[in-house]
Amino acid sequence: MSIHASVTVAVRRALDPIDQLLALDPGRRGIGCFFRPGAARAAAHALRRARRVLITTGFALGPGMPETDGPPGAAVLGRALRRLGARVRYVTDPVTVPPLEAALALLGETRAIEVFPDGDAEAAARGLLRRLAPTHVVAVERPGRARDGTYRSARGEPVDGWNRPLDTLFLVGARARTIGVGDGGNEIGMGVVPRRRLARAGIPARVASTVKTDHLVVAGVSNWGAYGIVAHLGLLARRDLLHGGEVERRLIRACVRAGAVDGITRRREPTVDGVPSDAHAGIVELMRAVRGPR
């Protein structure tokens, strides 16, 4: 099936308006080949009554180079879940702590961030899961290991040196519901996508993540996937949980000031995946305007 054909199928399924926004593919990554209609809504259903949530994010492309995609989405989703009554904790690498802290501070959220320790990853993951006893574990734009056990950037370069094996949290059989959000095929959660679909999108097998989650939300930009879940949480709870365009611009700027880089240009500029902050603000405002199915 060509990209064209899969888009036709998606249109026939009558994507809800939030999904239509999530399926936008600014990076021309072939999102249509592995987009998952209804996934943001299903993830919101799963998270709605979550009691304890552990959220991981952070994709570093080199030393001191955390991406701008991830922390804003994680912080906005975490705030929504906290407002719905969940206890929310975050876990990431030292390199992603500054942008995640900046995003949480901008939203006025507590910076409840755990640093995933170096060393025995399985012991660290089990210890964290035992101590925090999450009912739900969420990954927003976080590397998932490929079949050879390494993490790779979309370009295919190994990024193990800068990303600790946080995906172990999803591999040790935690008694929690798991949710992944991604945009490139190499993130936690993408293990549930049939390889041939990623291949059709031009994502090589050596890059594809093998790490599975109960729910996988695919979006043109991972932050959008998290916002889509929040938009649906707002519909389910009849509450306004999503931020606005101006806050989106400030979130991106705050991450850049804290050292984050654009994942595509790799420069410290107020863009995410090569898309300027005004366009991200527009997506958030559109999400507020359409509000999905009622």
Min dist. Cβ of residue 131 to Zn ion (A): 29
What are the tokens at 222?
A: 């991972």
Q: Of 140-169, which residues contact Zn ion (CB under 5 A)?
A: none
Stretch that binds Zn ion, among 33-41, 109-117, 217-225, 238-246 (CB under 5 A): 217-225
CB 234 within 8 A of CB 226: no
**Cβ contacts of 186 within 8 Å, gap of 6 or more:** 143, 144, 146, 151, 152, 153, 154, 203, 207, 208, 209
By CB under 5 A, which span of 2-10, 184-192, 195-203, 251-259 interacts with Zn ion? Answer: 184-192
For residues 38 to 77, the per-residue mask of contacts with Zn ion, x marking binding by CB under 5 A and - elsewhere, is: -------------------------------x--------
What's the closest the beta carbon of residue 181 comes to Zn ion, in angstroms?
9
Query: Considering the complex, what minimum distance in angstroms separates the CB of residue 69 from Zn ion?
Result: 3
Number of residues that bind Zn ion (CB under 5 A): 5
Which one among 16, 19, 167, 183 touches Zn ion, defined by CB under 5 A? 183
Q: Residue 222 contacts by C-beta under 8 Å, 6 or more apart in sequence?
A: 69, 70, 73, 140, 141, 181, 182, 183, 187
For residues 145 and 177, what is the distance between their CA atoms, to the nearest angstrom?
A: 20
CA distances from 279 to 85, 121, 153, 155, 166 (A): 31, 38, 24, 24, 31
**CB-wise, 132 or 140, nearer to Zn ion?**
140
Question: Of 32, 73, 99, 184, which one interacts with Zn ion (CB under 5 A)?
Answer: 184
Tell which one of 6, 163, 168, 222 touches Zn ion (CB under 5 A): 222
Let me know: does 215 contact 43? Beta carbons within 8 Å: yes
CB 280 within 8 A of CB 76: no
Minimum separation from the CB atom of position 242 to Zn ion (A): 19
Binding site for Zn ion (CB under 5 A): 69, 183-184, 222, 273
